[in-house]
Chains A and B, each alone.
Chain A
Amino acid sequence: MIVKNDKISEIINGKRVITKKPELLAPAGNLEKLKVAILYGADAVFIGGQEYGLRSNADNFTLEEIAEGVRFANKYGAKIYVTTNIYAHNENIPGLDKYLKGLEEAGVTGIIVADPLIIETARRIAPKLEVHLSTQQSLTNWKAVQFWKEEGLERVVLARETSAEEIREIKEKVDIEIEAFIHGAMCIAYSGRCVLSNHMTARDSNRGGCCQSCRWDYDLYKLDSGKEIALFDENDAPFAMSPKDLNLIQSIPKMIELGIDSLKIEGRMKSIHYVATVVSVYRKVIDAYCADPDNFVIKKEWLEELDKCANRDTAPAFFEGVPGYKEQMFGVHSKKTTYDFVGLVLDYDKETKMVILQQRNFFKPGDEVEFFGPQIENFTQKIEKIWDEDGNELDAARHPLQIVKFRVDKEVFPYNMMRKGH
């Protein structure tokens, strides 16, 4: 049930309108993804630098790239946050001052932090940076939120274990910005409270080395007077604790009415296709609800669109109650993909109806593809002849990043994307 919140809405011309729109916060693993996220509708983007972030395997931004990202974001009125949410060890202390100063100079709006070392160092060295508490602190109650408010933080990211009712109570009791996850992969453990990776592979999960041991299979036994008894039958899938990905599209109206300040999409390691698709869908949902909450319905096409970039089955997790076995995956390891991202539009000639496109995956004449982007309604197109940059006809677009031309009936725009169903 959705409780209408007067604090975030006004009656304009007899119609209720949401005037306090939440920020849509998107992930970006590199500059291209950052630009895509903003062009597809993100109000803010979070990125990782070369150090102190939790994805040591990601591309990650240099300080120059961060500054370039900020300049791009500024043009669109978007904000950039940098994840600096490791739990530091002594050896990580040297260099922190310089790094934080660099972020401030690059013009980022804020940093996402778990370790008080980094909170206090940022306050001292880079006071212009907002400090947001990371979900790594597993913040689950209003009194702990009160503590961090008194410490001077601008915003807290709640633990993924908090429910809608708990968030309502937190919002009522503490005046601080709340950020909550709406979409993407998540830890099945309380974030920050899992060191499986450390024990199993000597990789430090709380400094970006997580090897996702929670996605592996185990066998469950019981020790009974020295005897090991299997707690599974031959036909059972092994014990697993792999969570389905979070998907709160149906809960966005409730989240907006709760007054949550920032709705966050996970996935700094994900592709530009993923970022573009997820951001554009949530952009539409948020805008549609805020414009006319009383007549809002979730469109089927939005749900279908989200499915086109899904890596795993999805579930609403703790926001809507306590997740049971149906919110986990047993015996499933392959990632599901229904569509491939095959090309990025660079340009389009309205006269000749020719698109100039950068190849991102194999396609050939005769393929049916779909174009999507912030300026257009999705449409499908059958590909006829394909030429390379020099006008040579191709039997297929085979090479990654190759520039190709072909005819597209409807107008498309730079940064629109082309995808192909399996």
Chain B
Amino acid sequence: MKKPELLVTPIDVAHIRDLAEAGADAVMIGEQRYGLRLAGEFKREDIVEAVKIAHQHNVKVYVAMNAIFHNDKVDELGDYVKFLADTGVDAIVFGDPAVLMTVREVAPHMKLHWNTETTATNWYTCNYWGRKGAKRAVLAREINMDAIIEIKEHAEVEIEVQVHGMTCMFQSKRSLIGNYFEYQGKVMEIEKRKYEKGMFLYDKERDNKYPIFEDENGTHIMSPNDICIIDELEEMIDAEIDSFKIDGILQEREYITEVTKKYRLAIDLCAENREEYRKVKDQLLAEIEEIQPKHRPLDTGFFFKETVY
């Protein structure tokens, strides 16, 4: 049975080796100048190193260029794409059509993955971006399992689904944390403080904690729970979904490595020995619960949830 690729986000170059050994088939890296919400910051020299190590381990490297670009960065996209092509990365992840246009111009053979996160919600549009040059569509996290399977049935591109970790709920260009500090009159510390790690918004009514952070791309607010569907992989593996992603943003390196090992095992068993998978899947979920940070409850995202409108 065809196995989905296991795609993970490393924290730094050294982490790639750990993840390769833990069973990752691919890694997604990049820097915040071009990419959104990455687990680690990989400058050009890091990408060169990352590709070397990853390829030694037969692991693919995808680089994030999925930021929402303003005019000021458009002119430098070509140089970055060219660098990525020369370095031998396996694909570029994009959302903004400016990246697609640039890749057509300077590296027409480079593989593209379409990933706008929230707006990849139907099969037709996935195929549309396929006709424009994308090899893969990364689905929105806000659609359910049935919709994912239906998209895969109609898809002319590879389909990637996030199976683990937190997801982004909101991106603003505004400096919302900095603005709040400024409103409070804490002027002295703002520039430094707004980039601090570990901040969250508390929603009393729902008793939820939403991680929030600022970077070059603005303010990002993340989901209150981590998706974990290690025990619900059968349908998507049977449907031959092409890639399962573990997003390690705002997590510790050891945690990401451990989770990768468990999904490796789960995928292998689910594809090769279904009976055994069914026996151990609850145990695998329990093991992840054990290493789960206590402020990050697990849930199943939108896989089994309906939204109305």
Residues of A at the B interface (CB closer than 8 Å) are 56, 87-93, 114-117, 120, 138, 140-144, 146-148, 159, 161-162, 166, 169-170, 188-190, 192-196, 198-200, 202-204, 206-209, 214, 216, 218-224, 231-233, 236-237, 239-241, 243, 318, 322-325, 328, 330
Contact = CB atoms under 8 A, between A and B. Distances in A.
Which 10 pairs from chain A and chain B are nearest by CB?
A209-B309, A143-B98, A147-B97, A218-B201, A325-B179, A207-B309, A223-B198, A116-B128, A117-B124, A325-B183
A239 B147 contact: no
B245 to A, nearest CB: 17
Contacts of A140: 68-71, 96
Nearest to B105: A143
B125 to A, nearest CB: 5
Contact of A203 (B74, B181, B309): B309
Contact of B142 (A116, A198, A222, A325): A198
B295 to A, nearest CB: 6
Interface residues of B, number: 71
B177 interface: yes
Given A89-B121, A116-B125, A193-B119, 17 more contacts: A89-B147, A120-B128, A141-B73, A142-B71, A143-B69, A143-B98, A161-B70, A188-B174, A193-B116, A193-B118, A200-B208, A221-B209, A233-B184, A240-B180, A243-B174, A325-B179, A325-B180
B221 A196 contact: yes
- Secondary structure at the B interface, as helix, strand, loop or mixed, is mixed
A200 B206 contact: yes
Contacts of B97: 143-144, 147-148
Nearest to A121: B124
B130 to A, nearest CB: 11
Interface of B: 68-71, 73-74, 77, 96-98, 100-102, 116-119, 121-125, 128-129, 140-143, 147, 150-151, 169-177, 179-184, 196, 198-204, 206, 208-210, 212, 218-219, 221, 223-224, 295, 302, 305-309
B222 to A, nearest CB: 10
B183 A190 contact: no
A208 B152 CA distance: 25
22 contacts: A89-B122, A90-B151, A117-B124, A140-B96, A141-B74, A142-B74, A143-B74, A143-B97, A161-B68, A190-B172, A192-B118, A193-B117, A195-B169, A196-B169, A198-B302, A231-B181, A231-B199, A239-B201, A241-B172, A318-B173, A328-B176, A328-B179
- Central interface residue in B71, B98, B121, B169, by most chain A CB within 10 Å: B71
Contact of A115 (B125, B183, B223): B125
Nearest to B177: A220
Nearest to B184: A236
A18 to B, nearest CB: 26
Contacts of B170: 189, 193-196, 214
B221 A90 contact: no
Given A189-B172, A194-B169, A221 B68 contact: no
B143 A89 contact: yes
A190 B173 contact: yes
A326 to B, nearest CB: 8
Contacts of A115: 119, 122, 125
A144 B142 contact: no
B308 A144 contact: no
B201 A88 contact: no
A116 B128 CA distance: 7
A172 to B, nearest CB: 10
Nearest to A54: B309
Given A88-B122, A199-B224, A220-B199, A169 B71 contact: yes
B69 A141 contact: yes
